[in-house]
Structure 1
Amino acid sequence: MTVLITGGRAPVALDLARKFARSGVRVVVAESSRAQLCGRSSAVAASYPVPPPNRAPRAFVQALADIVKAEGVRLVVPTCEEIFWVARGRLPCEVLAEPLGTLRALHSKWEFVRLAKGFGLAVPETRLVLSARDLVGVPRPFVLKPVFSRFGTKVRVVRGNIGLKGDEGPWVAQELLDGAPVCSYSVAVGGRIVAHAVYAVEFTASGAAVSFAPMAHAGVDAWVSRFVERAGFSGQIAFDFMVGERVLPMECNPRATSGVHLFGDELAAVMLGEAREEPLRPSPDARAMIGLAMLTFGLAGVRSWSGLRRWARVVRESADVIAVPGDRGPFRGQFEVLWQNWIRSLWTRRSLVECSTYDIEWDGR
């Protein structure tokens, strides 16, 4: 059996490749970036270069179709925003993704909130903003962010007047929420959750978590379960919440996220359709981190001695997602990825995190 994983630059793609390989599945990878993690992994039988999806979408899908036929692929597992470009085409095998229309509604920070509200779920007060006129009467402070965006890199907290550039929209204006950020990651089949993890956000790189530990939260579990059931969703789905007196979603990512790192190899079987009476959940003592990011972004975010002690404890107790005994190639590969993103950030004046998705981003086109 062969599985094709797309998005080979991403830590989640590498982790999934290893999970499938240890489960006896042959893994091939497709990636449009020259620098990647999976290509150096012993878990990967073959790594194929493909055209950048947001520049050559038809050629990208055709390249995937050619790989599927040549390798006898049974299942395609997208991991990052290339999932939207994968969903635009038709591949001659099973794809772990919903149709593009469903993915678009969930990726949109406006349509997602409307959908969840229609399901009877609690959501933050949110307004679609097409021009400055749409901000009249919005209580300050509020959060302003593009309808299609990622990593929170363009999120702004507005406390007074604000000027908007017409070529940047549309946006959503959302109430500023109190509480702690919490993330969930699930795999679902036909509206039923078959794998589920919840984890708090502590150490980050430009808003993206780089350390992961599972937590129990019945309110988050209930919210996700109802949404997935009402949507009849199948595939990977993740949510960012703000949890305080209320459990309120900030956005949805209908794709793989770092919650993958909390699971053992059983996750591969779930993705291949293994029947389960109860959802697969992480071990309570699971701890993971992206080591290089923790040593740079994570450490840079420490602001106190207690924070430093907490950082040191997390580093000591967590397994690095990249550097795994017996598969050291990706450890070297991550420096190539970092170097490529750094060079690109210099001439584009974008952050390192933004440059990591420059050729796969999908903004509703």
Structure 2
Amino acid sequence: MSRLRGTTVLITGGRAPVALDLARKFAACGSRVLVAESAPADLCRRSKAVAATFRVPPPNRAPVAFAEALAGIAKREAVDLLVPTCEEIFWVARGLDVLEPHCRVLAEPLERLRGLHSKWEFVRQAEAFGLPVPRTVRGAGLRLPYVVKPVFSRFATKVRVVTAEEPAPDEAWVAQELLTGRQVCTYSVAAAGRLVAHAAYEVEFTASGACVNFAPIDDHPIEQWVTKFLEKSGFTGQIAFDFIDGLPLECNPRATSGIHLFGPELAEVLYGCATGVLPGQPLRPDPERRAMLGLAMLGFGLGQHGLARWWRVLRESADVIAVPGDRGPFRSQLDVLWHTWLRSLWTRRSMIECSTYDIEWDGR
């Protein structure tokens, strides 16, 4: 019998596919799953895996009220574990002192997360651990061409390739050597620096820079890099890295799409990280597993790698959103897209930027 049977789990970030997938994994293990979200639409409210959803204040506008709302839910609903998924994790971490009296929280303290989220501090930290990293500077000093990007950013929305001499970027930006080879993303779970789950997948079909199809690969050098970084840092929780040519571009100390490569056993591992009951060997995905964001593959994938390749991936991959027996979230994703599009029109920002407008954290 699963150790999760009879537990209550609160997942934040309900607009995201990773939150929906985690909700299903925890429910499959016997948990009662609750979801909290600050946006007016989320993916989870129509899922059969979710017992209840709660609207909470926007964390980057009302961080105190956000933490207090989560604490109130945890107290009223007897929550055993709170699992953040997306960038709201930084605001959850900011409110740990309010939350931890009421439930376990799968989040490191904010200052530790800051050093991983920062594209400057992360590279310096990895370099101090003796790990290979791309040449990265603040200011001038790189040969052309190179890339500039904000110290705190997401989805590569402001990444720019520099091909001619120009003034050095200010302290809010970093310059990094331009890498152009194989792109690999990883998703891992760690407990006090010990790797307890790991998946790697190659970036192929994308939507606004984000990967939308997922197939596990074995990349031993990258896994060694991740393992050593985790050991040196002593990190606990969910963490992901983006690599090009075997060198790390950035770190995301939160859930990412790599969770789609695992089955319900990932929920057991996450609960074990919070309770100290860990598997003997790291959990790895089934090598035959294939997943995708179906609507994104239909809308963005066609034409990226040829019709034959696109059709093969579409045919072999399971949609993350609409799964047999739980089709409600397919309609919910249309609600999310509609509200995001309206905000995009109102703010004149891209839809991808609007998808995180109320949860972004830039080191404040």
TM-score by length of 1: 0.94
Instruction: Give matches, 1:122-161, under 5 Å.
Output: 122-128=132-138, 134-135=139-140, 137-161=141-165
2:199 pairs with 1:210: no
Distance 1:165 1:172 in 2: 7
2:297 pairs with 1:283: no
Equivalent residue, structure 2, for 1:115: 125
Tell which deviates more after alignment, 346-355 or 219-228: 346-355
Q: 1:231 to 1:81 in 2, by over 3 A?
A: same
- Stretches of 4+ aligned residues off by more than 2 angstroms: 161-166
Q: Give the CA deviation at 1:343.
A: 1.2
Residue type of the alignment partner of 2:218: A
Question: 1:104-129: per-residue Cα shift (whole Å, max 9, x none)?
Answer: 0000000000000000000000002x
2:18 pairs with 1:19: no
* Preserved CA contact (<8 Å) 2:199 2:285: yes
Instruction: Give matches, 1:183-198, under 5 Å.
Output: 183-198=185-200
Equivalent residue, structure 2, for 1:359: 358
Unpaired runs of 5+ residues, structure 1, are: 129-133
Identical aligned residues as a percent: 69
Tell which deviates more after alignment, 344-353 or 218-227: 344-353
Residue type of the alignment partner of 2:163: R
Q: Give the CA deviation at 1:179.
A: 1.3
Q: Give the CA deviation at 1:213.
A: 0.3
Question: 1:10-51: per-residue Cα shift (whole Å, max 9, x none)?
Answer: 000000000000110110010001111011111011100000
Instruction: Give matches, 1:289-328, under 5 Å.
Output: 289-299=292-302, 302-303=303-304, 307-328=306-327
What secondary structure is seen at the aligned counterpart in 1 of 2:238? strand
Work out the number of aligned pairs and report it: 350
Residue type of the alignment partner of 1:117: E
* 1:175 equivalent among 174, 177, 180: 177
Residue type of the alignment partner of 1:159: T
Tell which deviates more after alignment, 344-353 or 150-159: 344-353
Distance 1:283 1:5 in 2: 25
Residue type of the alignment partner of 1:98: E
What secondary structure is seen at the aligned counterpart in 2 of 1:86? helix
Question: 1:301-335: per-residue Cα shift (whole Å, max 9, x none)?
Answer: x25xx622111100000000000111111100000
Distance 2:278 2:159 in 1: 40
Distance 2:167 2:324 in 1: 52
Question: 1:287-312: per-residue Cα shift (whole Å, max 9, x none)?
Answer: 0000001111222xx25xx6221111
Residue type of the alignment partner of 1:148: F
Equivalent residue, structure 1, for 2:349: 350
What secondary structure is seen at the aligned counterpart in 2 of 1:81? coil
* 2:55 equivalent among 40, 49, 55: 49
Residue type of the alignment partner of 1:212: F
Equivalent residue, structure 2, for 1:131: none
Q: Give the CA deviation at 1:163.
A: 5.6
Distance 1:201 1:47 in 2: 32
What secondary structure is seen at the aligned counterpart in 1 of 2:45? helix
Distance 2:199 2:71 in 1: 32
Distance 1:96 1:149 in 2: 23
* Preserved CA contact (<8 Å) 2:123 2:133: yes
Q: Give the CA deviation at 1:138.
A: 2.4
Distance 2:208 2:105 in 1: 30
Question: 1:245-291: per-residue Cα shift (whole Å, max 9, x none)?
Answer: xx200000000000000000100011111421110000000100000
